[in-house]
Amino acid sequence: MSKIKIGIVNVTGYAGMELARLLYNHPEVEIAYATGRSSAGQQLIKFLPHLPNLDITITEEAGEAEVAFLALPHRESALQAVQLLERGAKVIDISADFRLKDPRLYLEWYGFNHPAPDLLKEAAYGLPELYRSQIKSARLVANPGCYPTAAILALAPALDAGIIDGSIIIDAKSGVSGAGRTLHLKSQFCEANENASAYALEGHRHLPEIDQELKIAGKKQTMRITFVPHLIPVTRGILSSCYAELCKEVSQTQLEQLYKDFYANEPFIRLADTPPHINQVRGSNYCAIYPQIDKRTNRLIVISAIDNLVKGAAGQAIQNMNIMFGLEETTGISIPAIYP
């Protein structure tokens, strides 16, 4: 059986590099092309020396492939997706360009008018635990953001069961790789090392995505979400602490069973016995979740941990590709975490 030909658009960013790493040993795919504008014409191994035997020349433009992974900046990704779809390729977009269903939100949160608003309704939201059937038949998948992945997976079971209301606080902490490879003062070593800082208190770009999906999980109930992201001095990983008011009486045992039932057949969800650490998922496609009832305040507390570059980006994109092409969902991405 011939291998699936894939393309990576913008392979020299962190998400693109992680795609190459994870696809390196994927038994069912062949990297047909990898693009990078400033590095076009150079050998891929120059930028990915940790992946020997990748005999690929980086190109400026996308070539021919059955599926393309887009790791481009916002808006550029949408423009590229339109061209690739017209050529008959399936597209998995790692940017935010197809995650939001309301095109007006792109001007408000990303500063541009969406160039292909007709595709927003068609795009499947690429969170397999909630949208597997839509992903399976899709030609365009919007890979979720890293912060939204951790928050939605943490809260979806409780919202689906109707045990919490829509007043939710999400305190999320991310490693520096979440800022990408572009040089920023806050992500320089002397600024980030031995430091921790909150940012985007006025509203982070991932907030409308979180609001959209939690509203669906909560069966359209009104959401009042406070989302505060933090930068912490680690390379990769996200730890989210989520808080919500309980609106139904539920015991700790019932809560744990509720989460076990909701994620009973999910290969990449791990329900932890103790609050998870970032190091327990680093380098893997797993999401570790720990739900707890605070009896004193009658609140639900859920801790979730993911690797922002894997389950929060490249790994989840490959999980979506496996579903789209009828492969075993875990193919190529069942690797355990790197610990410590």
**Which residues are marked as active site?**
146
pLDDT digits (tens, 9 = 90+) for 45-95: 998 999 988 889 999 999 999 999 999 999 999 999 999 999 999 999 999
Angle at 29 between CA 25 and CA 35, to 5 degrees: 95
Q: What is the dihedral of CA 65, 67, 68, 69, to 10 degrees?
A: -140
Residues forming beta bridges with residue 142, ordered by sequence position:
93, 125
pLDDT at 54: 86
DSSP codes of every residue in 21-85: HHHTT-TTEEEEEEE-TTTTTSBHHHH-TTSTT---B-BSS----SEEEE-PPTTHHHHHHHHHH
Residues in the chain: 340
The rounded distance, in Å, linking the Cα atoms of 128 and 324 is 11
pLDDT digits (tens, 9 = 90+) for 242-279: 999 999 999 999 999 999 999 999 999 999 999 999 99
Spell out the domains of the chain, with CATH numbers in brackets.
4-143+313-324 (3.40.50.720), 147-306 (3.30.360.10)
Q: Which residues have CB under 8 Å from 302's CB, separation 6+?
A: 154, 155, 158, 240, 241, 242, 244, 289, 290, 291, 292
Work out whether strand 67-70 and strand 90-93 pair parallel, antiparallel, or are unpaired.
parallel
Phi and psi angles of residue 31, each rounded to the nearest 5 degrees, phi first: -75, 110
pLDDT digits (tens, 9 = 90+) for 309-328: 999 999 999 999 999 999 99
The span from the first CA to the last CA of the chain, in angstroms, equals: 39
